[in-house]
Structure formats: structure tokens, C-alpha cells
Amino acid sequence: MDLIKRFDMDKKPVKEKFYLTPLAYLLSFPTVWKRKLKVNKVNMEDVKPPYVLLCTHHAFIDFKVTTAAIYPKRANYIVAIDGFIKREKLLRNVGGICKRKFTNDTKLFKQIKYALEKLKNIVAIYPEARYSLIGTTAILPDSLAKMCKVLKHPVVMLNMHGNYLTQPVWNLKMRKVPLAADMTQIITKDEILTLSVDQINQRIHKAFQYDEYKWQKDNQIKITEKYRAEKIHKVLYQCPSCLTEHEMDSKDHMITCNHCKKTYEMDEYGELHATTGKTEFPHIPDWYEFEREQVRKEIVSGKYHFEDEVMIESLPNSKGYIPLGKGKLIHDENGFVLTGEEFGKPLKLVKEPLSLYSLHIEYDYMGKGDCIDLSTLDDTYYIYPINKKNVVTKLHFAVEELYKIKKESLRQNLVSSEK
């Protein structure tokens, strides 16, 4: 018998309690005013709640920018379960709706539908489901356009700029960067009834395009903080010169390969320059995509395999993490297999490639190290590799590329069977 109380995903969301609204404004407006936030509204003249608000996801400051963008209206926000830790009552009272990342959750759809139809509210969704790793668009779920079509409400896009540059996920030290956002109604209430799912999908994907380093350069935004490149090797883990993995390091505004000693400098406008020899990737996201392609080649060649001893924690509810001790994590072309022990019983969690289109990762999470998390509908396991260093970015690439490869293979098989 399971004696652990699970998070109640069935509890209906509420409108933000009136007495909490001033607190939300107090926490948000001084920050965005200080950063001189400019919100460019397009096709928003006649838009009133309820509507679906799709938001890019860069940093914690996203929620403050969203608060300012929809002012004076308030919203129900989709929030990952770790956001509810030790503050479930507060988050529920401000309209929070809980989600376990990268799970097929029909209950979430029902909660969103309830908030739109019964509460007549805005529902703010961050479908990238994690902070951007390198300031570019993350993979979006296939179900997003289908959900918008079924909900039959206007769809508004909030594409934020400067948030990632202010506080990148790989180094949470703040930088002094101005903020901007484009808030655009991309699908009207009439259009949602007539557009196909494919057409809705195209509009959403087009609206979600962003590249924060390009935005920085185009707007000539100087980031003068000395530590602007520190810890970026968590994302840029493979040397583009000697191709060695997991031997990159960074300090202040310099990135160095400990294997071949090649060094790159990040200038104040976010571009890279090799101190000697060729600069393979002046534009930082190009280095990131190079790593993705390297992982894909490894998968296609049949060489990809990850295995390590791990520390495991469970998050069944909002009370906090429960240590489960050591276990083993394997990831290969068949997906994830996590084994260990949970409350005196064997733990075995299997996640096949087509069950995960992406992976949530954290860098130095709460001072405990880099980790990934894998969720079921009633639990989330935080998994910390013990022996292998700086590997979680590669794991996330592998999950995404395996999903694409398996999905394409499935599609081709279906086409062949229909002939």
C-alpha cells in the first residue's frame, strides 16, 4: 500500500485571491520598471479574457514580465510541481495549476479548460517546459496546436527578450540587461474555429522563434559583467576544435578546453572569439546545434550509450524531496531505465523514446549537482549522476534526437503499410 500522499492534480484552480494581487504587483513591477520593460502589443485591441497565453520561458523573471504584460488582468499559471514545494497553498491561491514536466497529462487539459470556461480567466502556459538552455527556442509538444484547437479560445503569444540574458539557467548571477516583449494575438476566436491543426501549429511555431544572442547583437546591448561566460561550459560541453566531450571549462568571460587548451572569449555583445586559430562558432547557439548534430550522428551509428551510478530523490507532493539513495541510470536507443529502491521496494522506471519528446535538466540544482528528472503521473524522480561529469546537456540532446528518429521511423512504417 502506498502511504505517501500524492499531489492532488484534480483540485480545481481558482482565480487569484484579491488580497494577493497587490503582492504580485509589488514583487513584479519594481523589477520590470528598473529594467525599462517595453511591451509591444500587436492585434490586441479587442482581446479580452478568457484566452490562451503562450509564453517563452527563459528565467524566473518571466513571471514578472507576464504580470506586467497582462496588467490589469490576472491569470492562471501552469507551474511545475517543484514550484509548489513548501508553498502549495500560496500558489493555488494565486491561481497556479500544477504540472509534472514532459508527461501526457489529460488532467492538465481539464484544468486549463475549467480556468478558461468557468473562471473566464487568462491561462498562461510556458510550453517549452524549462528555461531556455542557450537563448533559443526549445522543442514544443506535438499536442499544443491540438489543445488550442479543442479549447476554441483566442491564442496570444508573449515572446520575451532579455530575460535569458539577464539570468541564464547555467549561471544565475544577474546581469544588467533591458527587457522587451512582443505580445501578439496570433489566432482570433473566429480563426480557431476554421484553421486546421497544421495551420495553428505553423502559427505557433513561427511566433515562438527567438534567438537572444542575435537580439543582443542587433540591439547592441552590452553585458559588461566579468562573469558573463562563467559556467556556460555546462551547455557548451564539447570542444569544436578537438571534439573532446566534457572537458570544457569556463571562468569570467573565457571558455577553455582542458584537453587541447584552445580558448574562446565572449565579448560584451555575446559573440565568441578564439584567442588563437579559427573561431568555429562566433554565434553561441551554433555551437549548441553542432553538439546536437554530433549526438545525432552517435545515435544513428549505434554508438550512443550512457550509464552511471546515480543519486535519486522523489517528489510525490509539495512537501519536499525524499532521498531514495543510490541507483543506476541507463540511456540508449531503447530510452531510459532507472533502477534503485523506493521505500524498501525495488524501483524500476522505464521511459521509452517515444514517451519523451524532450528532457528537463538542471545545473547544480540546489547545490546538489547537475540532474535530470523523469516523471510519472504521480511522482517525479530527480536523478544526479555520480561519476560522470557535465553530462546532462548531452542527455537532453539524445532524448530529443531519439524521439525525432523513432517518430520518423514510425511514420515511414505507417506509410509503407498503407501501400
pLDDT of residue 412: 86
pLDDT of residue 245: 98
Long-range contacts formed by 369-378: CB under 8 A, 24+ apart:
370/234, 372/396, 373/101, 373/315, 374/336, 374/338, 374/349, 375/100, 375/101, 375/102, 375/103, 376/100, 376/103, 376/349, 377/9, 377/100, 377/103, 377/105, 378/6, 378/7, 378/316
With a cut of 70, which residues of the chain have pLDDT below it?
1-3, 418-419
pLDDT more than 90, % of the chain: 94
pLDDT of residue 5: 87
pLDDT of residue 271: 98
pLDDT of residue 219: 97
Could you read off the pLDDT of 253-268 as tens digits, one per residue?
A: 999 999 999 999 999 9
pLDDT of residue 205: 97
Could you read off the pLDDT of 293-337 as tens digits, one per residue?
A: 999 999 999 999 999 999 999 999 999 999 999 999 999 999 999
| Per CATH, domain 306-414 is 3.40.50.620 | no
pLDDT of residue 367: 94
Q: Do residues 211 and 285 touch, judged by C-beta distance below 8 A?
A: yes
Cis check: omega of the bond before 50, within 30 degrees of 0: yes
Could you read off the pLDDT of 23-80 as tens digits, one per residue?
A: 999 999 999 999 999 999 999 999 999 999 999 999 999 999 999 999 999 999 999 9
- Looking up cell 512504417 gives 413
The domain segmentation of the chain, as residue ranges, is 18-218, 232-300, 306-414
Q: Do residues 359 and 102 touch, judged by C-beta distance below 8 A?
A: yes
pLDDT of residue 1: 37
Distance CA(411)–CA(342), nearest Å, equals 37
> Hey, what CATH topology would domain 18-218 get?
Glycerol-3-phosphate (1)-acyltransferase (3.40.1130)
For residue 313, what are the CA distances in angstroms to 80, 342, 380, 417? 16, 9, 8, 43
